[in-house]
């Protein structure tokens, strides 16, 4: 019997449709250390679809076309070293959205925009806290959720 979710995939798999698929593959590999698992090209050799492994998750990349326009996304990625990843992203041409900092919810996070307009918020989980403590910290900072 065929599985509804194939081996190696999770229920949710991000799919980025970008104006320059080759540039996105390079970005994902250089910033996140993503491993190219699958690549399909059209008859001219242009990338049409790729799948990469980023940590324990797959991410799909598609070359934008007349039929499939670029669609920027926002992604949240947990990593073992958010500071090093943020520095690699800045070196790879990303634009900072948020410097890396400790957050009230127990993550150390930073954010950047890639050249395709996707927003990446990256995090290292640093502290397990209860929802009550998270709410208390949020209220103390007077941050709007």
**pLDDT for position 143:** 60
Q: What is the 3-state secondary structure (H, E, C) of the chain?
A: CCCCCCCCCCCCCCEEEECCHHHHHHHHHHHHCCEEEEEEECCCCCEEEEEEEECCEEEEEEECCCCCCCCCCEEEEECCCHHHHHHHHHHCCCEEEEEEEECCCCEEEEEEECCCCCEEEEEEECCCCCHHHHHHHHHHHCCCC
Domains identified in the chain and CATH numbers: 11-65 (3.30.720.120), 72-145 (3.30.720.110)
pLDDT category, 76, cuts 50, 70, 90?
very high
The rounded percent of the chain whose pLDDT value lies above 90 is: 89
pTM of the model: 0.90
Q: What are the pLDDT digits (tens) for 5-56?
A: 888 898 999 999 999 999 999 999 999 999 999 999 999 999 999 999 999 9
Give the whole-number percent of the chain exceeding pLDDT 70.
98
């Amino acid at each position: 019997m065929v599985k509804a979710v194939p081996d190696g995939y999770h229920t949710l798999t991000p799919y980025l449709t970008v104006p320059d698929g080759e540039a996105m593959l390079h970005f994902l590999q250089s910033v996140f250390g993503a491993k190219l698992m699958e690549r399909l090209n059209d008859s001219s050799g242009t990338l049409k679809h790729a799948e990469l492994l980023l940590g324990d998750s797959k991410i799909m990349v598609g070359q934008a076309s007349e039929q499939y326009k670029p669609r920027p996304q926002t992604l949240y990625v947990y990593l073992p070293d958010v500071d090093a990843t943020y520095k690699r992203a800045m070196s790879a041409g990303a634009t900072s959205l948020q410097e890396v900092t400790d957050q009230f919810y127990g993550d150390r996070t930073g954010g950047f925009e890639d050249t395709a307009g996707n927003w990446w918020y990256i995090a290292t989980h640093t502290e397990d806290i209860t929802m009550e403590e998270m709410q208390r910290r949020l209220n103390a900072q007077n941050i709007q959720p």
